[in-house]
């Protein structure tokens, strides 16, 4: 593997990646993460005993809610306004809200139902409103896995959650979806620096504002409630553990991340 996150890794003499070494006080990753399942011990989770050979999910699924009627019995009915606010096209106000948004989360699933959520960002208004029932999201350069676009091709569906920094209400938009490479469309979608290779186009079927409770509870826009950086694993530490490549170090990953951000609009 010669690149990580789009950045070239340093190479030692003979063209081989550098040997694993401590960097910045971090220990090299142990390449072995496998557990001997035959020696799995019981694990207490939420008052329930399960086994490390399985997971808490496998146990909880056994008596989980299995139908919509059973689920509805657990909750009160929604207020009429929660249902009436759902529309099938944009209003002037929701158009304006999309024009203020610099971040949208895109949800989808493949043909087997495997779900995924991916962020898309740009200057406020980077998502174009083509008409009252159509949106276009430019696909700026990312990790090139193409998970979101492949899901759209597989199912023709997507769900969007528009976020405006500092605002606690969000906007949900769901509907049909396709991937377009039509030049006359892409030439209009230059908010991320240049015409994208493709665009995710959404045909709106549902649009409605979402209440602020989750962002308020999470203190999303309240810095005084955020955990300090030194209480969190760094991005490089998370990536290093995920890669399971003992020849890499924290310093290698940090450099690769820095290099990839230099070209974030390409």
The domain spanning residue 200 has which CATH number?
A: 2.30.110.10
The count of structural domains within the chain is 2
Report whether pLDDT(50) > 90. no
**Rounded to an integer, what distance in angstroms lies between the CA atom of residue 2 and that of residue 20?**
15
Q: Based on the fold, state whether residues 127 and 162 are members of the same structural domain.
A: yes
Q: Based on the fold, state whether residues 154 and 257 are members of the same structural domain.
A: no
Q: Based on the fold, state whether residues 97 and 150 are members of the same structural domain.
A: yes
pLDDT band at 246 (very low <50, low <70, confident <90, very high): very high
Range of the domain at 250: 228-266
Which of these ranges, 79-88, 147-156, 191-200, has the smallest mean pLDDT? 191-200
Q: Write the pLDDT tens digit of every residue in 110-120.
A: 999 999 999 99
Report whether pLDDT(193) > 90. no
Q: Based on the fold, state whether residues 246 and 196 are members of the same structural domain.
A: no
User: Is residue 252 in a domain?
Assistant: yes
Q: Based on the fold, state whether residues 211 and 232 are members of the same structural domain.
A: no
pLDDT band at 53 (very low <50, low <70, confident <90, very high): low
Q: What is the pLDDT of residue 264?
A: 63
User: Cβ contacts of residue 153 below 8 Å, gap of 6+?
Assistant: 178, 179
User: Is residue 208 in a domain?
Assistant: yes
Q: Based on the fold, state whether residues 139 and 178 are members of the same structural domain.
A: yes
pTM: 0.79
User: Is residue 20 in a domain?
Assistant: no
């Amino acid at each position: 593997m010669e690149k990580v996150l789009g950045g070239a890794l340093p190479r030692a003499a003979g063209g081989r990646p550098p040997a694993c070494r401590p960097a910045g006080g971090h220990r090299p990753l142990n390449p072995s993460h496998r557990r001997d399942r035959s020696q799995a011990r019981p694990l207490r989770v939420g008052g329930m005993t399960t086994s490390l050979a399985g997971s808490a999910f496998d146990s909880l699924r056994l008596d989980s809610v299995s139908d919509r009627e059973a689920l509805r019995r657990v909750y009160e009915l929604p207020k009429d306004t929660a249902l009436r606010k759902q529309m099938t096209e944009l209003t002037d106000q929701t158009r304006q809200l999309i024009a203020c948004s610099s971040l949208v989360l895109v949800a989808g699933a493949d043909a087997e139902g495997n779900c995924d959520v991916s962020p898309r960002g740009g200057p406020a208004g980077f998502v174009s409103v083509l008409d009252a029932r159509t949106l276009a999201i430019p696909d700026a350069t990312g990790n090139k896995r193409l998970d979101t676009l492949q899901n759209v091709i597989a199912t023709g569906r997507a769900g969007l959650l528009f976020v405006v920094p500092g605002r606690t209400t969000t906007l949900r938009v769901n509907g049909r979806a396709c991937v377009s490479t039509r030049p006359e469309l892409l030439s209009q979608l230059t908010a991320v620096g240049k015409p994208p290779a493709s665009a995710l186009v959404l045909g709106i079927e549902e649009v409605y504002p979402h209440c602020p409770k989750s962002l308020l509870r999470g203190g999303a826009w309240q810095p005084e409630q955020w955990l300090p950086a030194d209480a969190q694993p760094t991005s490089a530490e998370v990536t290093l553990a995920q890669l399971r490549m003992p020849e890499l170090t924290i310093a290698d990953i940090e450099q690769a991340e820095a290099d990839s951000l230099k070209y974030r609009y390409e």
